[in-house]
Chain A
Amino acid sequence: MANQDFPLIFEHSQESRTGFSLPELDVPETNIEDQLGEAFIRKSEPELPEVSELQIMRHYTALSTRNHGVDSGFYPLGSCTMKYNPKVNEDIARLTGFSHIHPLQPVETAQGALELMYDLQETLAEITGMDTVTLQPAAGAHGEWTGLMMIRAFHEGNGDYNRTKVIVPDSAHGTNPASATVAGFEAVTVKSNQQGLVDLEDLRRVVDEHTAALMLTNPNTLGLFEENIEEMASIIHEAGGKLYYDGANLNAILGYARPGDMGFDVVHLNLHKTFTGPHGGGGPGSGPVGVTAEFEPFLPKPILTKREDGYDFDYDRPKSIGRVKPYYGNFGINVRAYTYIRTMGAEGLKKVSEYAVLNANYMMRRLQKEFELPFDQHCKHEFVLSGKRQKKLGVRTLDIAKRLLDFGYHPPTIYFPINVEEAIMAEPTETESKETLDAFVDAMLQIAEEAKNDPEKVQEAPHTTIVSRMDETTAARKPILRYQKEE
């Protein structure tokens, strides 16, 4: 460790220092060494740190100050819906009756949990316009895979084993083609047209009797509503394929449009995006899947049922794709989402989308003055700019993103979607005030000026962060993935 390096928890360690409080052994000691046998008793202890409680608190508190969250400042990361995470959600999820219950305890002792899950399922079905919902998938990508496995089971259930292809737009999230592969399909790309929407001609070209499904986000990752959705649905359905909805962008259309009404057959939601589950630095999430009635037999098992005498799990599901996760999903995240939905109601949720869209359009129009807007039309909850003009001045999108750090902002998503050059994808969300949006736009406009007059300032950014740009090349070429004590 160099002097200027921030210490690792292991570097605070001193032999025999403790940070735990375990009960003393209050039962007669058994000779377990003989029982286990020498080969199964660990020879050397794992090198975990030996630190006091205060040292741990200081360490992690210091780490937290080296991290930017939504509560620290604006986080317009496109496609990620970095909205405010309500604190009451955290309180409710921590209630003993929700946090300290065992998934295998008798169902009659968990009726409160089951009621919440059931009501959440029904509510999500209503919001998406689907017939039924499973809460089992742990995250969005897990939901995608679950949905695709159901589509696969559906086709195979019809004796149709030749549907080997899943169509994915070139603007799609990387998880879409990856999930298709993991589910055993071949991912086929359909191009976007000049308006940033799925090119119908190209769609007709790639659709055939091997098409299992089309995966689509609507609005798409450019923040544009796929206006031709009805025609797309009929192209796919007429070919015998199914329509899969990636719910990553649902925040744009709550109460305005429902995937079920657009003709989607299977839908996943990201409760950690639209419904305020905190992102947690990468997870945990929750990725419920909604389906139309014809897919119900294929739902992951068990399914939750409501009977006269209470709620129960039904495991007798011969056509089910099976379990996708132990137990019943990320219940703790589902509790947070449920608390949020109950706080907002139908009226509040519609306002969420109204303001998410208003905020995005406002920011987009103000930024358009200095940044290229490849698709000049009203956007939904997010929009994509191109850093092309700045690139001509020698300032890349990456530089702009790094310069934004100096202003205390998390930059927008960059270089995605991949069909836009030097892409800058911003999603302000509805929970931000006009003052925040204005201040961010002002910073962006200032950076655009700097790109013209003082490009080095942008190219060499960030200037104020605790560390500067990292050597990512060496990190990948000579990976150091764990700490090792210096001998």
Chain B
Amino acid sequence: MEFRYLPMTEQDKKEMLSTIGVESTEELFADIPKNVRYSGDLNIKPPKNEYALTKELTQLAQRNVDTKSHTSFLGAGVYDHYIPSIVDHVISRSEFYTAYTPYQPEISQGELQAIFEFQTMICELTGMDVANSSMYDGGTALAEAVNLSAGQTKKKKVLVSKAIHPESLSVIHSYVKGPGVEVVEIDHNNGVTDLEQLENELDENTASVVLQYPNFFGQIERLDRVRELVDQQKKTMLITSSNPLALGYLTPPGEFGADIVVGDAQVFGIPAQFGGPHCGYFATTKKLMRKVPGRLVGQTKDEEGRRGFVLTLQAREQHIRRDKATSNICSNQALNALASSVAMSSLGKQGLKKMSWMNIQKASYMKKQLEETGFDIAFDGAFFNEIVVNLKGDIDTVNRKLLDKGIIGGYDLSRRFPELKGHMLVAVTEIRSKEEIDQFVKEVGDICG
């Protein structure tokens, strides 16, 4: 069988072996002890030619229900948004996607500058001083923020709202086991974090208070009041996880005095891809600049005085500091940060605000229509692009019926919130048309009415 990724000819091989001074490539593997040498043939599927493999995998992909053929009202952390065509054209340029981390600035100015621009855009959206070059995703970025707060404040307790994404909450629980941080979960009350309970739990041992803004239910947390509470304790940090699209219209957490703002830029130019890769971001204050996990790009000059960019403050990172590093993160999501930068550049100042505003408008329309059909909306606070509706039925069953109508229904909240049995989290983004929303309301009415 021929392998198109392997260029060596028999003649090449012969010449190379002779230069090395061996008879066969086998000799080059002679240092592998006999006992651990694998002598069998790996029991995996045989190689397939490009045409046949493409056909097979295309058929496999077609077995999935996708958000192009179906109308999706499913969000819960991953959203179906407008993706400008140019995004994929830019990230398909192989100078970007086949490059490694830009350790050689002279031949990596493209990547470095693109990241510098990404950092700037994230700072602008979040209202923070510093943003890094990306994290794996919003969930792990939040967990890293939690551990950073414990390390920085030398306190071992964090108060985490239960109204954050439940999978992020799970990731936090996993991440804190290393440094041994205690997580106290704060309940939600009417869809927002219970501030009374938060105040009761907050004490001098609290490293940080962690909220999502807008939260998992789409509700907008009262960051102004939370900041006042946090200020009662010395050093305690305010950490938010924020959908960056929402920050096109909402007051950014930075203006409420957040110490760390993280989230996922999937909403900007990145398809859902069954949950990854997306693009975590990590933004903070100047004060915490040298504690940031991951790579940072900084501006400088070359020997001729030309502006240029380099990876900087690397003394925080694992390849320099090893066991004393601020994080073990190495690979990040650079290509997706590029995708998000292109999408944010396309939207620009006006487009981003408009898109953000449209999400609230569409969700508001959905809310009204559901109410008019007789359904109860669970929470009455301000919201972004998601609402919680009480369908009083088994959401799993409702969703199966919606699928037959070409609709991917919302998230079944009973999966993680037993108190919200029969409640669906419905996401309505700017690309959902009035007709699609009306159809959803009608179908849900028919199923649950």
**CB <8 Å contact, B348 and A105:** no
> Does A43 lie at the interface of the complex (its beta carbon under 8 Å from any beta carbon of B)?
yes
- Could you name 20 residue pairs across A and B whose Cβ atoms are closer than 8 Å? A20-B84, A30-B364, A48-B344, A60-B114, A90-B97, A92-B54, A95-B61, A98-B274, A103-B272, A174-B330, A183-B178, A253-B32, A279-B97, A281-B96, A282-B111, A405-B106, A470-B302, A475-B298, A479-B298, A482-B123
Contact of B323 among A32, A177, A341, A357 (CB under 8 A): A177
> Does B46 lie at the interface of the complex (its beta carbon under 8 Å from any beta carbon of A)?
yes
User: If the complex has contacts A39-B251, A95-B58, are A411 and B331 also in contact, measured as CB distance less than 8 A?
Assistant: no
* Residue numbers in B under 8 Å from A343 (CB-CB): 5, 47-48, 50, 53
The 8 closest A-B pairs by CB, nearest first: A327-B275, A97-B61, A280-B335, A103-B275, A67-B110, A345-B47, A112-B63, A282-B334
In the complex the two chains form, what is the Cα distance from A401 to B43 in whole Å? 42
Nearest CB of chain B from residue A172's CB, rounded to whole Å: 9
> Does A290 lie at the interface of the complex (its beta carbon under 8 Å from any beta carbon of B)?
no
* Residue numbers in A under 8 Å from B100 (CB-CB): 75, 77, 80, 82, 279, 281-282, 410
In the complex the two chains form, what is the Cα distance from A181 to B328 in whole Å? 8
- Interface members, chain A 180-232 (any B CB < 8 Å): 180-184, 186-187, 224-225, 227, 229-230
In the complex the two chains form, what is the Cα distance from A400 to B55 in whole Å? 47
> Does B236 lie at the interface of the complex (its beta carbon under 8 Å from any beta carbon of A)?
no
Nearest CB of chain A from residue B90's CB, rounded to whole Å: 4
> Does B64 lie at the interface of the complex (its beta carbon under 8 Å from any beta carbon of A)?
yes
- Interface members, chain A 103-126 (any B CB < 8 Å): 103-106, 109-113, 115-116, 119, 123, 126
Nearest CB of chain A from residue B43's CB, rounded to whole Å: 6
Nearest CB of chain B from residue A195's CB, rounded to whole Å: 10
> Does B121 lie at the interface of the complex (its beta carbon under 8 Å from any beta carbon of A)?
yes
Contact of A48 among B46, B324, B348 (CB under 8 A): B348
In the complex the two chains form, what is the Cα distance from A93 to B60 in whole Å? 12
User: If the complex has contacts A103-B78, A110-B65, are A50 and B349 also in contact, measured as CB distance less than 8 A?
Assistant: yes
**CB <8 Å contact, B64 and A97:** yes
Say which one of A236-244, A257-265, A443-451 lies at the interface with B: A257-265
In the complex the two chains form, what is the Cα distance from A357 to B177 in whole Å? 40
> Does A391 lie at the interface of the complex (its beta carbon under 8 Å from any beta carbon of B)?
no
- When C-beta atoms are compared, the residue in chain A nearest to B35 turns out to be A230
User: If the complex has contacts A25-B358, A40-B382, are A282 and B102 also in contact, measured as CB distance less than 8 A?
Assistant: yes
**CB <8 Å contact, A56 and B86:** yes
Most buried by A among B54, B57, B92, B360: B57
Nearest CB of chain B from residue A429's CB, rounded to whole Å: 10
> Does B445 lie at the interface of the complex (its beta carbon under 8 Å from any beta carbon of A)?
no
A433-470 CB mask vs B (1 if < 8 Å, else 0) is 11000000000000000000000000000100111111
Most buried by B among A36, A46, A88, A347: A46
**CB <8 Å contact, A365 and B20:** yes
In the complex the two chains form, what is the Cα distance from A41 to B102 in whole Å? 38
Query: Total number of A-B contacts with CB less than 8 angstroms?
Result: 705
**CB <8 Å contact, B101 and A281:** yes
B49-74 CB mask vs A (1 if < 8 Å, else 0) is 01001100110111111111100101
Q: How many A residues have CB within 8 A of the partner chain?
A: 207
> Does B239 lie at the interface of the complex (its beta carbon under 8 Å from any beta carbon of A)?
no
> Does A371 lie at the interface of the complex (its beta carbon under 8 Å from any beta carbon of B)?
no
User: If the complex has contacts A280-B335, A469-B302, are A139 and B106 also in contact, measured as CB distance less than 8 A?
Assistant: no
* Residue numbers in B under 8 Å from A380 (CB-CB): 28
* Residue numbers in B under 8 Å from A342 (CB-CB): 45, 47-48, 53, 57
Nearest CB of chain B from residue A191's CB, rounded to whole Å: 15
**CB <8 Å contact, A284 and B360:** no
> Does A476 lie at the interface of the complex (its beta carbon under 8 Å from any beta carbon of B)?
yes
**CB <8 Å contact, A32 and B364:** yes
In the complex the two chains form, what is the Cα distance from A263 to B36 in whole Å? 9
> Does A285 lie at the interface of the complex (its beta carbon under 8 Å from any beta carbon of B)?
yes
* Residue numbers in B under 8 Å from A29 (CB-CB): 361
In the complex the two chains form, what is the Cα distance from A322 to B247 in whole Å? 31
> Does A158 lie at the interface of the complex (its beta carbon under 8 Å from any beta carbon of B)?
no
Nearest CB of chain B from residue A85's CB, rounded to whole Å: 5
* Residue numbers in A under 8 Å from B259 (CB-CB): none
* Residue numbers in A under 8 Å from B179 (CB-CB): 182, 184
**CB <8 Å contact, B92 and A90:** yes
In the complex the two chains form, what is the Cα distance from A114 to B81 in whole Å? 24
> Does B393 lie at the interface of the complex (its beta carbon under 8 Å from any beta carbon of A)?
no
**CB <8 Å contact, A467 and B45:** no
* Residue numbers in B under 8 Å from A355 (CB-CB): 6, 8
- Interface members, chain A 129-186 (any B CB < 8 Å): 129, 138-142, 144-145, 149, 152, 173-175, 177-184, 186
- When C-beta atoms are compared, the residue in chain A nearest to B29 turns out to be A256
* Residue numbers in B under 8 Å from A181 (CB-CB): 178, 323-325, 328
Nearest CB of chain A from residue B266's CB, rounded to whole Å: 11
**CB <8 Å contact, A64 and B358:** no
User: If the complex has contacts A88-B50, A466-B106, are A284 and B276 also in contact, measured as CB distance less than 8 A?
Assistant: yes
B110-126 CB mask vs A (1 if < 8 Å, else 0) is 11011111011101110
* Residue numbers in B under 8 Å from A100 (CB-CB): 66-68, 80, 271-273
> Does B419 lie at the interface of the complex (its beta carbon under 8 Å from any beta carbon of A)?
no
> Does B379 lie at the interface of the complex (its beta carbon under 8 Å from any beta carbon of A)?
no
Nearest CB of chain B from residue A441's CB, rounded to whole Å: 10
In the complex the two chains form, what is the Cα distance from A192 to B30 in whole Å? 21
Contact of B121 among A48, A83, A97, A278 (CB under 8 A): A48
In the complex the two chains form, what is the Cα distance from A173 to B329 in whole Å? 12
In the complex the two chains form, what is the Cα distance from A102 to B57 in whole Å? 18
> Does A331 lie at the interface of the complex (its beta carbon under 8 Å from any beta carbon of B)?
yes
> Does B205 lie at the interface of the complex (its beta carbon under 8 Å from any beta carbon of A)?
no
* Residue numbers in A under 8 Å from B168 (CB-CB): 326
Nearest CB of chain A from residue B339's CB, rounded to whole Å: 10
**CB <8 Å contact, B124 and A46:** yes
